[in-house]
Amino acid sequence: MSDKDKNAAEEAAEGKSKTNFIEAIINEEIKEGKHEGRVHTRFPPEPNGYLHIGHAKAICLSFGIAQKYKGKCNLRFDDTNPSKEETEYVESIKEDVKWLGFQWDEEHFTSDYFDQLYEWAEKMILDGKAYVDDQSAEEIAAQKGTPTKAGIESPYRNRTPEENLRLFRDMRAGKYKEGEKVLRAKIDMAAANMHLRDPLMYRIMHKEHHRTADKWCIYPMYDYAHGQSDYIEKITNSLCTLEFEVHRPLYDWFLDQLVEDEHYRPRQTEFARLNLSYTVMSKRKLLQLVKENYVNGWDDPRMPTVSGMRRRGYTPGSLRNFADTIGIAKRDNVIDVALLEHAVREDLNKVAPRVFGVLDPVKVIITNYPEGQTEEMELINNPEDESQGSRKVPFSREVFIERNDFMVDPPRKFFRMGPGREVRLKGAYIVKCEDYKMNAETGKIEEIYCTYDPDTKSGMSQANRKVKGTLHWVSCAHALDAEIRIYDRLFMDEAPDGHEDKDFKEFLNPESLQKTTAKVEPALANAKALDHFQFQRIGYFNLDPDTQKEGRLIFNRTVPLRDSWSKKGK
RNA sequence: UGCCCGAUGGUGUAAUUGGCAACACGUCUGACUCUGAAUCAGAAAAGUCCAGGUUCGAACCCUGGUCGGGCAACCA
C-alpha cells in the first residue's frame, strides 16, 4: 500500500471525508451494537464479462467501506449461470480489482455453496415452502400476471412435500430435460411485488460449469443464492445497485426461512449505478462490440472497461479519486466524462514526462538560422517533478510545428503563431513569423517562414522577453517518423445504454481510431509503439501498450481550437 | 393505472439528522505562463419539484399532488 493510500484510509477512518448514506446506515448499526461493530462487505461480480468503470465505482464503495471501518471485503464470483460464465473472466476480474489497488480478504464462488444451497432447498421443500412445477416457461410467465393484475397459482403448487422432495431429487439426478421442471418458492401469486409471485429457485441446465463441471445439472437462481451466500460469508452489508431494490423483500424472505443465527443476518442496501455521458456500459453491448470486432477486444483502449482504461493510461489512483468525487447516492445520475478526464489529467500531470511530437506537421523555416547548424536544447522532462530531470533535443534551421498552432487570421485569444507574431519555440528561441506559403486551391498552409532572435535562447539574457505563446516543435532533420494510433471517444453522441434495443452502433464514432505518421523527437527511438489519446485537453501517449509497463508521456499540447474562440471571433 | 424508489445551482454530491444551503467539476472575467488551457484571483449560478400542515425554526417530519426511474428473464 502506498503512502497515498494509507493517508486516504486514515483520513477516512478519522471521518474527514464526507459520509454517504450507506456509511450513515452503518454508523447507526454500530451505535445499535449490531454485528458487534463488525463490518464485512463483498464485491460479487458475475464472471460473464470484463469489469467496467461502473464496477470500479462499486469496488471502490465496498472495499472502501471495509477499509474505512477496518472491516473486511470479499471477492465473490456469482457463478450460478454456466451458460454465460467463463474462467477467462474470473482471471480478468481479479487482475482488475488488484490493479485498482484493492486486496480482498476472502475469495469465494457461489458455486462453492451449491451443496449448502441444495440442502436448504430440501429443507424448504419439507417445510412446505417450495414446490416442483412441471409447467413450461411460457405457462409460468402467463400465470405470473402483470404489475396491475394478480397472478394465478400453478396446478402443481399443492403437491405434498414428499412428492416435491422426490421430484427435486430426480431433477438433481438428471432425470429430466432442460425446462421440464423447476423448483419454485411458495410465497404469494397475488403479491404486489412481482418478485414474490412464487419465484424460481432452481432450473435444470445440462451444461458444463466452469468450476463444478458436470457435477450439477440444476443451478440456483440469483435471488435464491445471493442472500444465502452473504449469510454464509457473514457479510454484514450487501451493497448492490438500485435495480435490485425490488428484490430486497425476496432477499429477506429467503433469509427468513433459513437464518438460524439472527446475529449474522446480512442487510442489502442499494445505491445508484454510474452512468457516464457518451459511454455505453451495458455488458451485453460491450460483448457485442468485442464479438463483432468493432473494437480489438475487451481491453481495447476505447472500451470503458477497467482493462481498456488501464491501456488508455488511466491510473488506479485517478479512478479511485473519480469514484470518490462522484459519491454515493440513490438518485439516478449521469456523470459527464469530462469529470473522469479531469481526474486522469490531475494525476498524469504529476507523473508523466513531457515529450515533443507533432501529429499534423507543418514545416517552419528559420531563414536567418545557419544552414547545417544543430544545437542541443535542454528540455525539462516534467515541470511538476524536478526529479525527472531533463533531456537534450536537437534543434536546426527547419522544424515542424503543429498545423493548428498556426492561424493566418487568429482570433483574440489565440496565443500561438500567426503572421507577424512572435512565439517561443519551447526550450529554444523566440521566432517571428515573417511569411507563409499557402496552397491557393486548398487553402492549406505548406510552409511558414520565420526569423529567430539569437539572444533569446532559453537561459540567455533576452530570454525573458514576453511573447504570445510557446509551441512544441521537432527538428526536421532529426525527426523520427512514428506510426501512431490516435484514439478518440468511441461514441460521438449519447448512445442508448442499458436494455434499450435501439441500435447503439449507429452512434459509434467512425474516427475513434486513426493511424497517422507523426514526427517525434529522437528520444522516442526506442518506443515500441505509441498510442495517443485525446483527453479533451491534453494529448497523452502510452508507450508500448503491450507490456503496459513503459512510459506515460504527455505529448505537448495537441488541443484543437476551443469552441469559445470561434464563437467570439477576433 | 398496482408496487417500490428518487427529486438540492448547468452536472454530481454535502448539510453535525429540525438550526446561516456547502463542496467539487463546469461556465464567465481578469492575471500569469518557456504549453499544465495548469496555476492564481474574482464572479455568475439553487433557496432545496409543487401545495398545504407541524414547529420559534423544515432541504430534512406529516398529508396530498407533479415529474423521473425501476419491477412481469428458467439473467445477474
Mean pLDDT of chain A: 89
Q: Strand B: which nucleotides have any atom within 7 A of a protein Cβ?
A: 1-8, 10-15, 17, 24-29, 33-38, 68-76
Residue nearest to nucleotide B33 (CA to C1'): A469
Residues of A belonging to the active site: 46, 273, 283
pLDDT at A396: 96
Give the CA A32 to C1' B47 distance in Å.
36
Give the CA A330 to C1' B9 distance in Å.
20
pLDDT at A484: 85
Residue A552 banded pLDDT, cuts 50, 70, 90: low
Residue nearest to nucleotide B15 (CA to C1'): A18
Backbone angles phi, psi at A110, to 5 degrees: -55, -30
Give the CA A381 to C1' B14 distance in Å.
39
Q: What residues contact residue A466 under an 8 Å CB cut-off, 6+ apart?
A: none
Backbone angles phi, psi at A108, to 5 degrees: -135, 165
Length, in residues, of chain A: 570
- Summarised one tens digit per residue, pLDDT across range A464-484 is 788 878 899 999 999 999 888
Residue nearest to nucleotide B39 (CA to C1'): A384
Give nearest nucleotide to A243 (CA–C1').
Answer: B70
Give the CA A240 to C1' B75 distance in Å.
16
Residue nearest to nucleotide B36 (CA to C1'): A349
Distances (CA, A) of A270 to A25, A119, A235, A460, A537: 12, 29, 15, 63, 35
Residue A557 banded pLDDT, cuts 50, 70, 90: low
Give nearest nucleotide to A283 (CA–C1').
Answer: B76
Q: Give the residue, A405 or A97, on which the prediction is more confident.
A: A97
pLDDT at A430 over 80: yes
pLDDT at A352 over 60: yes
What mean pLDDT comes out for the span A105-132? 98
Give nearest nucleotide to A136 (CA–C1').
Answer: B74
Q: Give the residue, A120 or A313, on which the prediction is more confident.
A: A120
Q: Give the residue, A164 or A565, on which the prediction is more confident.
A: A164
Give the CA A9 to C1' B33 distance in Å.
36
pLDDT at A567 over 80: no
ipTM of the predicted structure? 0.94
pLDDT at A569 over 60: no
pLDDT at A199 over 70: yes
Residue nearest to nucleotide B5 (CA to C1'): A245
Question: Taking Cα atoms as reference points, which of A469, A487, A467, A464 lies closest to residue A401?
Answer: A469
Q: Give the residue, A535 or A47, on which the prediction is more confident.
A: A47
* Cβ-contact A529, A553 below 8 angstroms: no
- Summarised one tens digit per residue, pLDDT across range A289-326 is 999 999 999 999 999 999 999 988 888 999 999 999 99
Residue nearest to nucleotide B75 (CA to C1'): A81
Residue A232 banded pLDDT, cuts 50, 70, 90: very high
Q: How far is CA A4 from the centre of its chain?
A: 21
Give the CA A340 to C1' B45 distance in Å.
23
* Cell numbers that stand for A130 in this block: 417450495
Residue A560 banded pLDDT, cuts 50, 70, 90: very low
Give the CA A209 to C1' B32 distance in Å.
64
pLDDT at A17: 58
Query: DSSP secondary structure string, A164-187?
Result: HHHHHHHHHHT-S-TTT-EEEE-S
Residue A544 banded pLDDT, cuts 50, 70, 90: low
**Looking at beta carbons, which pairs linking A10-16 to residues 24 or more positions away fall under 8 Å?**
A12/A64, A12/A67, A12/A68, A13/A67, A13/A68, A13/A69, A13/A70
Distances (CA, A) of A426 to A375, A454, A462, A501: 14, 14, 15, 51
* pLDDT over 90 percentage in chain A: 66
Give nearest nucleotide to A465 (CA–C1').
Answer: B34
Q: Can you give the pTM of this predicted structure?
A: 0.92
pLDDT at A13 over 70: no
Number of Cβ within 10 Å of residue A561's Cβ equals: 11
Residue A546 banded pLDDT, cuts 50, 70, 90: low
Q: What residues contact residue A392 under an 8 Å CB cut-off, 6+ apart?
A: A376, A377, A378, A379
Q: Give the residue, A540 or A204, on which the prediction is more confident.
A: A204
Give nearest nucleotide to A325 (CA–C1').
Answer: B24
Residue nearest to nucleotide B14 (CA to C1'): A18
Residue A202 banded pLDDT, cuts 50, 70, 90: very high
What mean pLDDT comes out for the span A23-33? 91
Give nearest nucleotide to A277 (CA–C1').
Answer: B11
pLDDT at A381: 87
Give nearest nucleotide to A458 (CA–C1').
Answer: B34
- Summarised one tens digit per residue, pLDDT across range A472-529 is 999 999 999 988 888 888 988 778 887 665 688 888 988 888 888 889 999 888 777 7
Burial class (CB in 10 A: 0-12, 13-18, 19+), A525: exposed
What mean pLDDT comes out for the span A362-380? 94
- Summarised one tens digit per residue, pLDDT across range A433-456 is 999 999 999 989 999 999 999 989
pLDDT at A570: 25
Q: What is d(CA A48, CA A159) in angstroms, rounded to the nearest whole number?
A: 36
* Cβ-contact A76, A233 below 8 angstroms: yes
* pLDDT over 70 percentage in chain A: 91
Amino acid at A372: G
First vs last C-alpha separation in chain A: 52
Burial class (CB in 10 A: 0-12, 13-18, 19+), A238: buried
Q: Give the residue, A402 or A497, on which the prediction is more confident.
A: A402
Give the CA A274 to C1' B63 distance in Å.
34
pLDDT at A551: 57
Question: Taking Cα atoms as reference points, which of A367, A364, A354 lies closest to residue A521?
Answer: A354
